[in-house]
Amino acid sequence: MTEEVTLTIDGREIRATPGDNLVKVARAHDINIPSLCYFEHLDQPLGTCRVCMCNVDGRIVPACMQRVHAGMEVAFETPKLSDMRHAVLEMMFAEGNHVCPACPKSGDCDLQRLGYEMEVRTVRFPHLFKDRYIDLNAKRTVVDTNRCVKCARCVEEVRTDDGKQVYSFCNRGNETVVAIDYEQEARLTDAQARKAMRVCPTGAIIVRGEPSWTRPFGDRRYDLHPIRGPETLVRRKKTKATPNKRDKKTVATISLAGCYGCHMSMLDTDLGLIDRVDIIEFNKSPLNDIKEFTKRCDLGIIEGGVCNSDNVEVLKEFRRQCDVLVCIGECAVWGGVPALRNTIPLRECLEETYLHCESVEPGQGVVPFDDDLPKLLDRVYACNEIVKIDHYIPGCPPNADIIWKSVANILWDEDNSILYSDFKYD
C-alpha cells in the first residue's frame, strides 16, 4: 500500500493515494467535479467532454487528466473556472438539438442533470440547429445524433464478444457523428445493448423496446436530487439581505411562437393570484386582453420564440416599452418545440404542410401568402437573437412557483431559492 499524500482542493486538505485520478479523489470527498466522459476504470481517460476544467498548480487543465501528487494545489470553485465549465456545457446544448420534453432519457440524462446542477438557465451561444439524423437501421439500438455529445464512451466501451467496435466516430470536426456497424450491432447480447444505453450520458443511444422511459416524473433518476448531495439542494440567485418594499409594478406579457402553456402555468397558482393582483398591474397581456401598451412597464414576460415578422415587431415593441425583459419557457429561451422545424428549409415545411400532405386533395393545395398576413421567418429564432433579454426561466413549462419567485426576485429583489426538484427543462 502506497503512503497517502496531502493535496488541497479550494484550500481544503485532502489525503489520497498518489497517482489516483483527481476526479475520483475529489468525488470521494464530496467535491463533485462535473464530467460526461470520465470513467473510473479507464486509466487512459477519454478527455473529450472538457467540462471538468480546474486549475491545478497554476495551470488550467481538465481534472480527469490529473494524477494526484503530494502538495498538489487544485482550484475548482472560482468564478472564472465555473464560467468556463458552464460555457463548455452550454456548447453541448447549442451544438446538438436537445428537446428534453420529447426525449426518452429526460430525467435520466447526465447532460440534463449537469444542466440542473450547474443551473444552466440559458445558453450564451445561439443554437446551431444543424440538421442531424436518427439512425433507425440497427437491430438493437437507435442512435439519435441530435443528442450525441461525442464523448466517445460508446466507441471505447461497447464491443462485441470478439472485441470489435460497434460504434465509431465518422467524419470530423463539426460533422463528426457516432455511426453504427449494423452487422456487429446485431450480435450484441441483451446485456451489451443495455450497457450501450447506460454508458451513453445522453439520450443518443436508446435500446429498442426498453420501457425505461415510462416512469413518471419523480421516479426518474435525477428528478429529485443531484447525483451526489442532499435530497433537496436549494439554489439561490444573488439577493439583497433585505428585499425592497413591494411597491406596485406594471407588467406586460405576451405569447409569441409558443403554446400558451407558460401563460397557463402562470395562472396555476390558485389563490396566490389574488395576492399578486394587489402588487402587480398588468398592462398589455392576454391575461386581461389589453392589446396595446398604455404605459411604460417595469417588466415584460415573453413566452415563445420568434417565428414570423409579427413576432419580431411585437418583441421589439416589448423591448422599447419595458425596462426588463424575461423569457419564460424553452421556446422563448432557445426556440423550443416550434424550432423543431429549424433543421428543415422553410420551403419544404410549407410544401409538405400545404401541398403534399395526405389531407390535401392532390393539386388543390395552396401555400398561404398575403401581404396582410405575417411573413414566416426562415427559421424560429430565440428571443435573444432579436433583442437583448435580461433574464431566463427555463422549463416546459416552468412551474408557477418558479415563475413568480423569479418575477419577485427581479422586481423586488426577493429571495429566489429554487428546489433542485423544481428546476426542469421538461
Partner 1 sequence: MTPPVDDRTQLLDALWACQKRHGYIRDEDVASLADALAVSKIEIEGVVSFYHFLHRQPTGDFTVYLDNSIVSECKGFARVKQAFEHATGSAFGRTPVSRRFGLFETACIGLSDQQPAALINFYPFTNLNTLKVKQIVAALERGEPASSLCDEVANNIRFAPGGGKAIFLRDYEPGRAVRKLVGQDPQAIIDEVGRAQVRGMGGAFFPTAIKWASCRQVANSPKYVVCNADEGEPGTFKDRVLLNKYPGLVLEGMIIAAYAVGASAGIVYLRAEYQWLKHKVEAAITDLRRRKLLGTAIAGIAGFDFDIRIQLGAGAYVCGEETALLNSLEGKRGEPRTKYFYPTEKGFLDQPTVVNNVETCCAVARVLELGADHFLRTGTTKSPGTKLLSISGDCRKPGIYEVEWGTSIHEVLALCGANAPHYIQVSGPSGECVSLREADRRLALDDLRCGGSFMIFDHTRDILGILRNFTEFFKHESCGVCTPCRAGNFLVQRKLTMIGSRLARASDFSDLHNWGKVIGATSRCGLGVSATNSLRLAIERFPEYFKSRIIPDDNVTHFDLEAAVKAHEEFR
Q: Does the footprint of partner 1 cover residue 293 (CB under 8 A)? A: no
Q: Does the footprint of partner 1 cover residue 195 (CB under 8 A)? A: no
Supply 266's cell numbers.
402562470
Separation of alpha carbons 9 and 41, rounded Å: 23
DSSP letter at 356 equals I
Q: Does the footprint of partner 1 cover residue 364 (CB under 8 A)? A: no
Element (H, E) at 8: strand 5-9
Q: Which is nearer to ligand SF4, 128 or 355 (CB)?
A: 128
- We find the least distance from the C-beta atom of residue 305 to partner 1, in angstroms, to be 13
Question: What are the CA-CA distances from residue 300 to residues 68, 137, 265, 333, 389 (Å)?
Answer: 50, 47, 16, 14, 10
Kindly tell me which residue out of 85, 98, 341, 424 binds ligand SF4, with binding defined by CB under 6 A. 98
Closest to 145 (Cα-Cα) out of 192, 205, 200:
205
Scan residues 183-202 and list those touching ligand SF4 (CB under 6 A).
Answer: 199-202
- We find the least distance from the C-beta atom of residue 305 to ligand SF4, in angstroms, to be 17
**Sole window of 195-203, 213-221, 286-294, 379-387 interacting with partner 1 (rule: CB under 8 A):** 379-387
- We find the least distance from the C-beta atom of residue 95 to ligand SF4, in angstroms, to be 11
Residue 387 interacts with which of ligand SF4, partner 1, none, CB < 5 to 8 Å by class: partner 1
Separation of alpha carbons 346 and 308, rounded Å: 12
Handedness of CA 351, 357, 363, 364 (dihedral sign): negative
Q: Does the footprint of ligand SF4 cover residue 152 (CB under 6 A)? A: yes
The count of other CB atoms within 10 Å of the CB of residue 133 is 11
Q: Does the footprint of ligand SF4 cover residue 402 (CB under 6 A)? A: no
Scan residues 201-230 and list those touching ligand SF4 (CB under 6 A).
Answer: 201-205
Separation of alpha carbons 381 and 348, rounded Å: 18
Q: Does the footprint of partner 1 cover residue 381 (CB under 8 A)? A: yes
Residue 168 interacts with which of partner 1, ligand SF4, none, CB < 5 to 8 Å by class: partner 1
Separation of alpha carbons 332 and 327, rounded Å: 5
Q: Does the footprint of ligand SF4 cover residue 112 (CB under 6 A)? A: yes
- We find the least distance from the C-beta atom of residue 124 to ligand SF4, in angstroms, to be 17
Contacts with 424 (C-beta within 8 Å, 6 or more apart), sequence order: 116, 394, 395, 396, 398, 399
Closest to 300 (Cα-Cα) out of 271, 276, 320:
320
Q: Does the footprint of ligand SF4 cover residue 127 (CB under 6 A)? A: no
Closest to 205 (Cα-Cα) out of 130, 152, 154, 139:
154
**Sole window of 169-177, 234-242, 253-261, 274-282 interacting with partner 1 (rule: CB under 8 A):** 169-177
**Sole window of 166-174, 239-247, 260-268, 295-303 interacting with partner 1 (rule: CB under 8 A):** 166-174
User: Angle 131-136-139 (CA atoms, 0-180°, nearest 5)?
Assistant: 155
- We find the least distance from the C-beta atom of residue 5 to partner 1, in angstroms, to be 20
Q: Does the footprint of partner 1 cover residue 180 (CB under 8 A)? A: yes
Separation of alpha carbons 379 and 349, rounded Å: 10
Q: Does the footprint of partner 1 cover residue 367 (CB under 8 A)? A: yes
Separation of alpha carbons 307 and 294, rounded Å: 26
User: Angle 116-119-122 (CA atoms, 0-180°, nearest 5)?
Assistant: 105
The residues that touch ligand SF4, with contacts defined as CB under 6 A, are 98-100, 103, 105-106, 109, 111-112, 147-154, 167, 178, 199-205
The residues that touch partner 1, with contacts defined as CB under 8 A, are 44-51, 53, 60, 62, 65, 83-84, 87-88, 91-92, 94-95, 124-126, 128, 130, 149-150, 152, 160, 164-176, 179-181, 183-184, 309, 312, 316, 319, 345-347, 350, 367-369, 375-379, 381, 384-388
